[in-house]
Amino acid sequence: MMHADTLARDKVEAAGQGPLLDVQGLSVAFGPEGRAVYAVNDVSFQLAEGESLAIVGESGSGKSVTMQTLMGLIRKPPGRVTSGRALFRGRDLLAMPDSELRQIRGRDIAMIFQDPMSSLNPVLTIGLQLTEALREHQGLSEREAERQALDMLDLVGIANAAQRMQAFPHQFSGGQLQRIGIAMALVCKPSILIADEPTTALDVTIQAQIVELVARLQKELGMAIIWISHDLSLVAGFVERVAVMYAGSIVETAPVERLFAAPTHPYTIGLLNSIPSLTAANTRLVPIKGAPPNVTLAPTFCAFASRCDHAVARCREAKPVLEPVVSGHAAACWRWRELQGFPRAPGSVMATAQASGAAPNEPLLTVSGLKVHFPIRRGVLRRQVGAVRAVDGVSFEVLRGETLALVGESGCGKSTTGRAVLGLERPSEGEILFEGRDYAEATAERLKERRRDMQMVFQNPFGSLNPRMTVGRIIGEGLRAQKIGTRASREARVSDLLALVGLREAMRDRYPFELSGGQRQRVGIARALAGSPKFIIADEPISALDVSIQAQIVNLLDDLKARLGLTYLFIGHDLSMIRYLSDRVAVMYLGRIVETGTTASVFGTPLHPYTRALLSAIPVPDPKAGGTRRRIVLGGGVPDPSKPPSGCHFHPRCPRASKICAQVAPEPRDFGSSASGQHLVTCHHAGEV
Amino acid sequence: MLSYLLRKLLLGVPVLFGVTIIVFAIAHAMPGDAVLAMITAEAPSSEELIAMRRGELGLDQPLYIQYLNWIGQILHGNLGRSFVNGRSVAAIIGERLPMTLELMGVALLAAFVIGTTLGVISALRQYRLTDYSLTLGGFVGVSIPDFFMGLLLVYVFALELRWLPSSGISTAGESFSLADNLRHLVLPAAALALFRAAIFMRYARAGMLEVLNQSYMRTARAKGLKPSTIVLRHGLRNALIPLVTVFGLALPTLFGGSVVIETIFQWPGIGLMFIDAVVNRDSPVIMGYVLITAIIVMLANLATDLAYSVLDPRVSYD
């Protein structure tokens, strides 16, 4: 094991006491003049030795392009640096030839990337990928490089590092891979680590592990960090300073406490408002109106003006520059002084009348003992040697008019459950009663009938719409397939649906690639609604969207439910969003439901240790909460569903596990009261203090 | 892995059985037969003589009996005897197959090395002059059929420039030497290789372009590695994976191509043998040829599957 002090890079030559990194007026455009995309516009910031800075923005805000430009990683052409300097210890990164920049890249400035699965080379061993930078930059021998790589693997918490050096990336889980990616970036002990959304592709409990790891390593190695994220609440807990980017420009920058306590730019305020909270009393999200900015227009005006409630003529005519609000806090808004007096959240925070019409007590869907096992076949004769137990005995009810949320991390079987309910997956065992009829063994013909009443909204609005069909055809396709109505009545229905989901009639003849993510998901919802179903299964419908758009879609789903009397099965992993739109919640872990109850009781008094860990892993948009809140960080990852642990599936990761947990699978017990409704918990230790 | 191989080989048995039926049907659906082919070639003969010859060759029996006899022989490892000269088909193929494998092997290897190299260069120079010239060259390459390429090469290098011999495997009258043999090999191998090199180039270019956009390539650059390390170590191996499929698919068409090329260059391999056999309606030889090529193609497909698991650690067969 290495010690932190030997690892910490000797901080000699702090050239002239200036900042470590000083970016001045950086602008980057893609494509030829006239048809350019203005990705980064006049960005300036400084980073001191050992400082941690977060750059926060939605997709297309230019945060990643800014960092990749500094590293010389954007392709030129089509990319062009149109102005600016980036001084690293006094040397301009943008002016030096690539051969010189290469010496800095990986050695002084290192980077970790978003998706650990795709950012490691699948055909090379991780040992080779870990050592190659050491050998390149420090000319170490193979053995010495390997020794240092092993130390680094230890430091990031990879067990049995020596044996795993010969393994390939696909043999690790996502969380482990991101640890390896971090080790790879840190082997040369850089003075700046750029983390480009390193936890976005990971589950929330794994995200908590990675954030903790990076924060610890920063202290031990004394490096500066630039953490790029779309998630303000995530960075609230561990950075010192935040810069908010919008449409390629920094619109506000401040120390983290100051930014959350006194946000000044309307965009920052809007972002903070659209973040779902685990504790606030309101049941309605406040989205930022409109769509993401159009970055193909030259940056000569305030890009946020079209979405801003306070925009005036001046905002559309000239671009505001960053002005200091107080020392260390700057905002780029023409009207920030006048807006200081406005209330932070506009008045629409009224709780919408919860669809209290028909008392929801009659079950629309009853699933009992559902199992979906995928056989594993091996050998010459393809004999079945085992099964992936994706869903392993799941029972729940969805009452007419309610929203049941099925939550859990990836691989817990929540999506498979949804697909089985819709009939896209054949159950191995169990009953699926819809309006009292069992569909578990139904024929294809009867399943088709059921699909009139039951529709699905898919996760990825980019992949789930046929790119060669117009919006009108996509929405009307289900009607044609089910032979509902005449051609004219179907046309009229498509128009109604467009209006219903908040799309203009002109969208009918567009193709999916012409729409933004939020618009596409609206099309996906309209398509699901075409046949007037009673029941909608929404499989992570917002997880691919930007924060400010997520709130719009959640509100739309909520409105549609009230207007059309729909019932939802909402599948998701984002507990804070789920709190806003569900009546009841079922938490899944490794093929089983561990806790079911009303949203208020599951979020208010979670009883299963897994639910508690999940809730505590959610980042809170409050920099001060980091210290006071007790966070339960679960060790390890979700086990292999073909070899689930004995007894309670959760026991190997459970902080409260005892002997019985490894032997006997617990039965659900009801901890609810007449006031709080049924609250089923599948844990031997639930209810103990 | 072993059980995967075994399963594939077992699955090959019914496939080969199907091949025998099709081959037999085609060989016997050809107009005329071996006896008539001989007669037209020599002098007209009496009806009795024809009937007698047919009796000797077993051609007077019902088709299904002929088929069962042939299958019976094959199961004993015997491919039968040529109707024309009475030699064992296995022996004829045995002496000619190495010639064809030499031609095909050299052509395929050259095509692969040249095609992949040019494809990678083309991808690295995307949208520059080098890329456009190579892409244009590749387009010309895939547009010229084997036989025309063969004739073109003969005309330019054998007839006009007189650099290389135009036919055979060695110079008549001289004792056999490898150098002489290789001189004879250049033109037919080039005729076969150019078309395939163009195809490999297209796929290598596309494969490399795709790999260049992968995020692990960005990671490699972010580490500050040398450009050559990035391309060769991180890029090439990933770009080769889709090429394996193209390589496997090239093999069957190479057999077809070699029939034509061996005829043009009088290269005494099994392709030339096949053409002679078709002219003479020598059905045992025709059927033997098709059966052998079917087996080779099947084995090559198996080798392709294995190559995948070597190149890509994510692929494992069980």
Q: Are residues B64 and B107 in the same domain?
A: no
- The pLDDT value given to residue A157: 86
User: Which of B226, B229, B313 is opposite residue A123, by nearest beta carbon?
Assistant: B313
Mutate to test the interface with A, among B13, B218, B229, B230 (most CBs of A within 10 A): B218
Nearest CA in chain A to B126: A77
Q: What is the pLDDT of residues A95-104, one digit of tens each?
A: 999 899 999 9
Which positions ≥6 away from A568 have C-beta within 8 Å?
Answer: A398, A402, A403, A404, A535, A536, A537, A538, A557, A561, A581, A582
Mutate to test the interface with B, among A200, A377, A380 (most CBs of B within 10 A): A380
Mean pLDDT of A41-45: 93
Contact B222 A121 (CB under 8 A): no
Nearest CA in chain B to A72: B222
Q: Which of A40-44, A91-95, A163-167, A272-276 has the lowest mean pLDDT?
A: A272-276
d(CA B143, CA B140): 5
- The string of DSSP letters for A618-676 reads S--S-TTHHHHSPP-PPPS-PPPTTSPPSSSTTGGG-TT--HHHHHSPPPPEE--BTTT
Mean pLDDT of A207-225: 89
Minimal CA separation from B265 to chain A, in Å: 43
B221 located within any domain: yes
Q: Are residues B27 and B125 in the same domain?
A: no
Which positions ≥6 away from A407 have C-beta within 8 Å?
Answer: A414, A571, A572, A573, A575, A578, A585, A586, A587, A588, A614
- What torsion, rounded to 10 degrees, do the Cα atoms A185, A187, A191, A193 define? 20
What percentage of chain B has pLDDT greater than the value 70?
Answer: 97
- Mean of all residue pLDDT scores within chain A: 86
Q: Which domain holds residue B270?
A: 98-277
- The string of DSSP letters for A75-95 reads -TTTEEEEEEEEEETTEETTT
List CB contacts (< 8 A) between A73 and chain B: 218, 221-222
List CB contacts (< 8 A) between A111 and chain B: 219, 222
Is it the case that residue B106 has pLDDT exceeding 70?
yes
Going along chain A from its start, the domains and CATH numbers come out as: 363-377+385-453+534-607+645-681 (3.40.50.300), 464-532 (no CATH)
Contact B219 A120 (CB under 8 A): yes
ipTM of model: 0.80
Contact B223 A104 (CB under 8 A): no
A135 at the B interface (CB within 8 A)?
Answer: no
Mean pLDDT of A291-299: 80
Q: For B33, which DSSP code?
A: -
- The pLDDT value given to residue A629: 57
A226 at the B interface (CB within 8 A)?
Answer: no
Q: Are residues B207 and B254 in the same domain?
A: yes
Contact B233 A71 (CB under 8 A): no
List CB contacts (< 8 A) between A71 and chain B: 222
Q: Are residues B161 and B211 in the same domain?
A: yes
Q: Which of A3-7, A82-86, A146-150, A607-611 has the lowest mean pLDDT?
A: A3-7
Domain tally, chain B: 2
Residue B137 pLDDT level (bands cut at 50, 70, 90):
very high
Contact B222 A378 (CB under 8 A): no
Q: Are residues B105 and B50 in the same domain?
A: no
User: Which of A123, A185, A380 is opposite residue B312, by nearest beta carbon?
Assistant: A123
Is it the case that residue B29 has pLDDT exceeding 90?
no
A184 at the B interface (CB within 8 A)?
Answer: yes
A133 at the B interface (CB within 8 A)?
Answer: yes
Contact A105 B314 (CB under 8 A): no
Q: What is the pLDDT of residues A245-257, one digit of tens each?
A: 999 999 999 999 9
B179 located within any domain: yes
Mean pLDDT of A393-400: 92
Higher pLDDT, B83 or A651: A651
- The pLDDT value given to residue A282: 57
Picking from A307, A309, A313, A315, the residue whose alpha carbon sits closest to that of residue A333 is A315
B118 located within any domain: yes
List CB contacts (< 8 A) between A32 and chain B: none
Helix (H) or strand (E) holding A111: strand A109-112
Contact B218 A181 (CB under 8 A): no
Q: What pairing do the DSSP bridges indicate for beta strands A567-572 and A535-539?
A: parallel
Picking from A121, A29, A353, A644, the residue whose alpha carbon sits closest to that of residue B239 is A121
Contact A113 B218 (CB under 8 A): yes
A380 at the B interface (CB within 8 A)?
Answer: yes
User: Which of B214, B224, B318 is opposite residue A133, by nearest beta carbon?
Assistant: B224
Q: What pairing do the DSSP bridges indicate for beta strands A249-255 and A329-331?
A: antiparallel
Residue B181 pLDDT level (bands cut at 50, 70, 90):
confident
DSSP SS3 for B172: coil
Q: What is the pLDDT of residues B198-245, one digit of tens each?
A: 999 999 999 999 999 899 999 999 999 999 999 999 999 899 998 988
CB A102 within 8 A of CB B199: no
Q: Could you tell me the sign of the dihedral formed by the alpha carbons of B28, B29, B34, B35, in that order?
A: positive
Residue A371 pLDDT level (bands cut at 50, 70, 90):
very high
Residue B175 pLDDT level (bands cut at 50, 70, 90):
confident
Nearest CA in chain B to A166: B313
Is it the case that residue A627 has pLDDT exceeding 60?
no
B129 located within any domain: yes
Residue B123 pLDDT level (bands cut at 50, 70, 90):
very high
Contact A380 B219 (CB under 8 A): no
B89 located within any domain: no
Q: Are residues B136 and B273 in the same domain?
A: yes
Residue A341 pLDDT level (bands cut at 50, 70, 90):
low
B316 located within any domain: no
- The pLDDT value given to residue A299: 84
List CB contacts (< 8 A) between A181 and chain B: 219
Q: Are residues B108 and B208 in the same domain?
A: yes
- Mean of all residue pLDDT scores within chain B: 87
Contact A113 B226 (CB under 8 A): no
Which positions ≥6 away from B75 have C-beta within 8 Å?
Answer: none
Q: What is the pLDDT of residues A18-36, one digit of tens each?
A: 799 999 999 999 988 888 8
Minimal CA separation from B134 to chain A, in Å: 21
Q: Are residues B54 and B176 in the same domain?
A: no
Q: Are residues B114 and B259 in the same domain?
A: yes
B309 located within any domain: no
Mutate to test the interface with A, among B10, B126, B214, B219 (most CBs of A within 10 A): B219
Nearest CA in chain B to A74: B218
- The pLDDT value given to residue B83: 82
Which positions ≥6 away from B259 have C-beta within 8 Å?
Answer: B271, B272, B274, B275
Q: Are residues B127 and B271 in the same domain?
A: yes
Is it the case that residue B35 has pLDDT exceeding 80?
no
What does each C-alpha distance from A401 to A126, A360, A397, A540 come to in angstroms? Answer: 51, 6, 12, 20
List CB contacts (< 8 A) between B228 and chain A: none
Residue A2 pLDDT level (bands cut at 50, 70, 90):
very low
CB A406 within 8 A of CB A571: yes
Contact A170 B313 (CB under 8 A): yes
User: Which of B222, B234, B241 is opposite residue A105, by nearest beta carbon?
Assistant: B222
Is it the case that residue A630 has pLDDT exceeding 80?
no
Q: For A114, which DSSP code?
A: S
Is it the case that residue A540 has pLDDT exceeding 50?
yes
List CB contacts (< 8 A) between A103 and chain B: 224
Portion 162-181 of A in contact with B at CB < 8 A: 168, 170, 181
d(CA A592, CA A644): 11
Q: Are residues B151 and B239 in the same domain?
A: yes
Phi, psi of A567 (to 5 degrees): -120, 135
Contact B314 A170 (CB under 8 A): yes
B43 located within any domain: yes
End-to-end Cα, chain B, rounded Å: 5
Give the B-side interface with A, CB within 8 Å. 3, 6-7, 10, 214-216, 218-226, 229, 233-234, 237-238, 241, 311-314, 318
Residue B97 pLDDT level (bands cut at 50, 70, 90):
very high
- The pLDDT value given to residue A347: 43
Q: What CATH number corresponds to the domain at position B255?
A: 1.10.3720.10
Contact A379 B10 (CB under 8 A): no
- The pLDDT value given to residue A281: 59
List CB contacts (< 8 A) between B219 and chain A: 111, 113, 119-121, 181, 184
Q: Are residues B134 and B64 in the same domain?
A: no
Write b or e for each residue in A275-295: b if 16 or more Cβ atoms lie within 10 A of its Cβ, otherwise e: bbbeeeeeeebbbbeebbbeb
Longest dimension (CA), chain B: 86
d(CA B252, CA B262): 16
- The string of DSSP letters for A4-35 reads HHHHSPP----GGG--SEEEEEEEEEESSTTS
Residue A589: beta bridge partners?
A592
Mutate to test the interface with B, among A88, A121, A130, A189 (most CBs of B within 10 A): A121
- The pLDDT value given to residue A83: 93
Helix (H) or strand (E) holding B72: helix B63-75
User: Which of B6, B216, B238 is opposite residue A380, by nearest beta carbon?
Assistant: B6
Tokens of B91: 């022996």
Contact B237 A104 (CB under 8 A): no
Mutate to test the interface with B, among A113, A123, A131, A193 (most CBs of B within 10 A): A123
Mean pLDDT of A479-487: 84
